[in-house]
């Protein structure tokens, strides 16, 4: 059996160290897996609002967070949104129990899905900005920073993400499917030096 050359040993040790670092980083970012239970036949936006006081915390079953989505598609929880590596599963709630929603199905040789536009947002507090006095410089409960320079302009830095949105189709739709506008959405991703509309 041939002995490894010095450069080969160095390369092997470097590779193993890199692999170990990647595994450690992955484990550090690992978050609890999540199961979503959606009423059978529901079609529309699902909206989950996190960090809402006086609302139920998320339950865990065998270490997996449980999301039981009501008929309205709107859910609030006092639990915090924890973004990172995890496994999400989706289920239809039926009278006889639950059935798993497949991640994708093939129709005429193309992949179709049930869950669309799964995203996370920071909550918008722009609705309260007009009522704030000029000179306000504050940080809200979700770390949103608002500085009102004058009556018509505000510096607005969104805080941590506390909103989760995704669209559910009752039948699988093309990956390119564009859901209808989410009329109940109060989410924004970034706003700075925003002029206040009259």
For residue 23, being part of any structural domain is answered with no
Q: DSSP readout, 146-188?
A: EEEEETTEEEEE--SEEEEEEEEEEEEEETT--PPP-TT--EE
Contacts of 169 (CB under 8 A, 6+ apart): 43, 113, 114, 116, 177, 179
User: Any idea which residue has 């497949």 for tokens?
Assistant: 102
Contacts made by residues 19-28, CB under 8 angstroms, sequence distance 24+:
26/85
Token pair 């006086």 is found at 54
Q: Is residue 9 part of a domain?
A: no
- Containing structural domain, residue 79: 32-195
Rounded to an integer, the average pLDDT of 85-103 is 92
Question: pTM for the full model?
Answer: 0.76
Per-residue pLDDT at 43: 96
Query: What is the domain count for the chain?
Result: 1
Would 2 be classed as within a structural domain? no
On whether residue 22 sits in a domain, the answer given is no
Cβ(171)–Cβ(123) below 8 Å: no
Domain contains 114: yes
pLDDT tens profile 78-92: 999 988 778 999 999
Q: What's the confidence (pLDDT) of residue 23?
A: 54
Q: Is residue 187 over pLDDT 90?
A: no
pLDDT at position 169 over 70:
yes
**Residue 120 in domain:** yes
Q: Is 8 inside a domain boundary? A: no
Check if the beta carbon of residue 122 is closer than 8 Å to that of residue 103: no
Distance of alpha carbon 121 from alpha carbon 50, whole angstroms: 11
pLDDT band at 198 (very low <50, low <70, confident <90, very high): very low
Within a domain: 146: yes
What pLDDT digit, counting tens, does each position of 26-80 carry? Answer: 445 557 899 999 999 999 999 999 998 899 999 999 999 999 999 999 999 999 9
């Amino acid at each position: 059996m041939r002995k490894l050359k010095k450069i080969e040993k160095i390369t092997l040790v470097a590779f193993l160290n890199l692999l170990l670092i990647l595994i450690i980083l992955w484990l550090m970012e690992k978050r609890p897996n999540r199961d979503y239970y959606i009423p059978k036949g529901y079609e529309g936006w699902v909206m989950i609002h996190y960090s809402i006081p006086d609302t139920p915390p998320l339950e865990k079953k065998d270490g997996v967070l449980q999301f039981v989505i009501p008929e309205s598609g709107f859910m609030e929880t006092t639990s915090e949104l924890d973004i990172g590596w995890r496994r999400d599963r989706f289920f239809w709630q039926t009278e006889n129990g639950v059935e798993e929603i497949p991640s994708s199905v093939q129709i005429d040789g193309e992949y179709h899905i049930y869950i669309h536009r799964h995203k996370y947002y920071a909550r918008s507090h722009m609705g309260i900005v007009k009522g704030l006095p000029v000179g306000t410089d504050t940080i809200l409960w979700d770390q949103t920073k608002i500085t009102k320079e004058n009556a018509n302009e505000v510096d607005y830095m969104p805080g941590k993400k506390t909103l989760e949105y995704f669209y559910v189709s009752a039948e699988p739709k093309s990956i390119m499917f564009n859901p209808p506008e989410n009329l109940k959405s109060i989410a924004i991703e970034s706003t700075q030096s925003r002029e206040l509309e009259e």
